[in-house]
Structure 1
Amino acid sequence: MSDFSKAAYSINLWPEGFMPGHGAQAPEQDTDDHRGNVDRLTNVSKPALYVYPAKNPTVNPAPAMIVCPGGGYSILAWNLEGTEIAEFLAQNGMTAIILKYRCPNNREGAFQDAQRAIRLARLNADKWGIDPAKIGIMGFSAGGHLTVRATCKYDEQSYKPIDEADSRSPKPDFAVPVYPAYLNKDEQVAPELLPLVNLPPILAIHNADDAAFVKGTRIFVNALADGGFDFCFRHYQDGGHGYGLRSAKSVKDWGRAMILWFKEKRIL
């Protein structure tokens, strides 16, 4: 069952009655599918943020990361790509903020939720003890696509401003897509991610044996290289897809590599 209790605190993304777009038709629930010890949450109509404060941060205020679980925009892999990631980040000195975004089949709602999440993190920076100039976003599979879209389309007004939070910038200060999905259309970067302009530092993580999606990541990072952007591509040999921090294959190193990249970029 998806566990929301480990977060220090949580907030709803939208004031009651002001959420743009639409939610799910059915009540929010965990699915009956728990294969691989994965809690699968679906029918999200009330998106929210779940905050895991940094433990023993090495910089003060701490950097923060919006965490977007994957699940094909149908479910959210809540423990595998949410709480386990948040706890890892918090243990390494970064405040983690899990985004419970709208699903299923609601990419536009998810994008609105991601933009709103970054804005709310900036609005609450003092309260949460985070640096408003060090707010990143990371995601897995479909959450990786959402991460890249929020990073590349930060200047797109996906909804009309509602309150003070919407005066803040939705542009992340860094981004980490992990085995992202849907980044390409044929041999090109997917059109909803274009154009690539004035992007923050990006760490892309993928492995060669994720046959369905690694091609899109290669196309995306090649476009980053062509554009002269600040990026790093950690390309592993094997790991499959949907492993979070649990893999025993070569990609098991990605979490440590990410922390080293944060230190290299003086984020941590």
Structure 2
Amino acid sequence: MELGRRHLLLGLAAVGAAGSAQTAPPGIRHPGDPTETIDLWPGPAPGMPATPPVETVDERSTDPAFPDRAVRGVVRPRMVVFRPATPNGAAVLVAPGGGYARIVIDKEGYEVARWLAARGYTVFVLFYRLPGDGWAAGPDVALSDAQRAMRLIRQRAGAYRLDPTRVAMMGFSAGGHLCGDLATRFDAMTYRAIDAADRLSARPMLAAPIYAVQSMSAPLAHPGSRALLVGAEASAAVERAHSNAANVTARTPPIFMAHAEDDATVPVDNTLEMRAACKRVGVPVETHLFTTGGHGFGLRRAAGKPVAIWPDLFVNWAASMKLA
């Protein structure tokens, strides 16, 4: 897409005006970490609990060469930006997992973002609010952040030299549930519009939920994610309202999924149920199942195994769908 000079200048102005006030990345820093961030909301995020959460970063690795940070209590939702050396005009919004209790930013965020950026994608890693922290939106709070993030990426497309129609989302585990939630409920009214960005579409061009939590109903539901998102005593109606497969329509964007059949945390039938829902209504769906790989393989834990091919399968499929 050829972006007009006025669109580009407006986008650059928006980034410049916001840049000086953006929330910094997590407190535990590592060499090579990006420093460019975009706050999702111009002031406090909507629906702040009476006792706001306190953002905490836990470093779970003892090897400085392989950081494994987990962020809890996000109070200033934001995106961390990975700019490619040679942009291909496409963007990917990445939602790391963490069971809706935390956000695992290295294994399912930064590592994937660097890999995609090396292939020309501009990547935005999403620090989303967690539903167990008491936000007014309840089970829709992370979806609010994902919707807002997609709209801001499109609003700033000129500044990042992006085609605003070519923006995808990828998510892992509980972040995969959020990815599926956005793909199926992108136009749900989860927050009150606050500026011009909210007039833009939140529908991703493509969505890639990877070893994703999908169902909120037993026996497929991941118990921890379910308890934090909808509550341990949620009714069948509430479970269904927040199960991705139940919300697939003909407007759902094309879907790419990868899952290991020996996943003991999130049963592979979550992916199979989502695939069946897409097939029923004619949504293009690419599904890759691996005999072994367990849960949370990302890039690091997939190395040297057949499952390591999943990122290449994604970019090849995405290219066939004209993302890049």
TM-score (norm 2): 0.76
- Equivalent AA in structure 1 for residue 191 of structure 2: Y
The structure with more strand, counted as a fraction of residues: 1
Report what 1:267 is aligned to. Answer: 323
How many angstroms does 1:199 deviate by?
1.2
Structure 1 residues 155, 26: CA separation in 2 closer, same or farther (over 3 Å shift)? closer
Alpha-carbon distance in 2 for matches of 1:5, 1:170: 30
User: For 2:106, which of 60, 79, 82 is the aligned residue?
Assistant: 79
- The residue number in structure 2 matching 1:22 is 48
1:12 corresponds in structure 2 to 39
Q: Which moved more, 1:116-125 or 1:243-252?
A: 243-252
Structure 2 contact 79–127 (Cα < 8 Å) conserved: yes
1:6/1:37 Cα in 2 relative to 1: closer, same or farther (>3 Å)? closer
Aligned to 2:224: none
Q: CA RMSD in A?
A: 2.2
For the 8 Å contact 2:59–2:68, the answer to whether it is kept is no
Q: 2:78 is matched with which residue? A: 48
Could you say what secondary structure the match of 1:132 adopts?
Answer: coil
Are 1:184 and 1:216, in contact at CA under 8 Å, matched by a contact in 2? Answer: no
Paired residue secondary structure (2:166): strand
CA-CA distance at 1:160 after TM superposition: 0.6
SS in 2 for 1:133: coil
User: One-letter code of the match for 1:40?
Assistant: A
**Cα deviation code 1:71-122 (max 9, x no counterpart):** 0011111111111111011001111001111136254221110000000000
* Residue 203 (structure 1) aligned with residue 256 (structure 2): yes
Question: 8 Å contact 2:180–2:214 — kept in the other structure?
Answer: no
Number of aligned residues: 264
Matched residue, 1:255: 311
Q: Counterpart of 1:31 in 2: which secondary structure?
A: strand
Q: Is the 8 A contact 2:167 2:323 kept in 1?
A: no
Structure ID, larger Rg: 2
TM superposition shift of 1:9: 1.9
- Distance apart, 1:49 and its partner CA: 1.0
Q: 2:131, 2:141 within 8 Å by CA — same for their partners in 1?
A: no
Question: Does 2:286 align with 1:232?
Answer: yes
Contact 1:55/1:94 (8 A) holds in 2: no
* Structure 2 unaligned blocks of 5 or more: 1-27, 134-138, 221-238
The one-letter code of the counterpart of 1:168 is: L
* Whole-angstrom CA distance in 1 between matches of 2:281 and 2:199: 29
SS in 2 for 1:80: helix
Cα deviation, residue 186, structure 1: 4.1
5+ residue gaps in structure 1? none
Preserved CA contact (<8 Å) 2:214 2:274: no
Q: State the match for 2:151 in structure 1.
A: 119
How far apart in 1 are the matches of 2:42 and 2:30? 23
2:265 maps to which residue? 212
1:50-69 correspondence to structure 2 within 5 Å: 50-57=80-87, 59=88, 62-69=89-96
Describe the SS at the equivalent of 2:167: strand
Deviation of residue 33 (structure 1)? 3.6
- What's the CA shift for 1:53? 1.6
User: What SS class does the counterpart of residue 247 from structure 2 fall into?
Assistant: coil
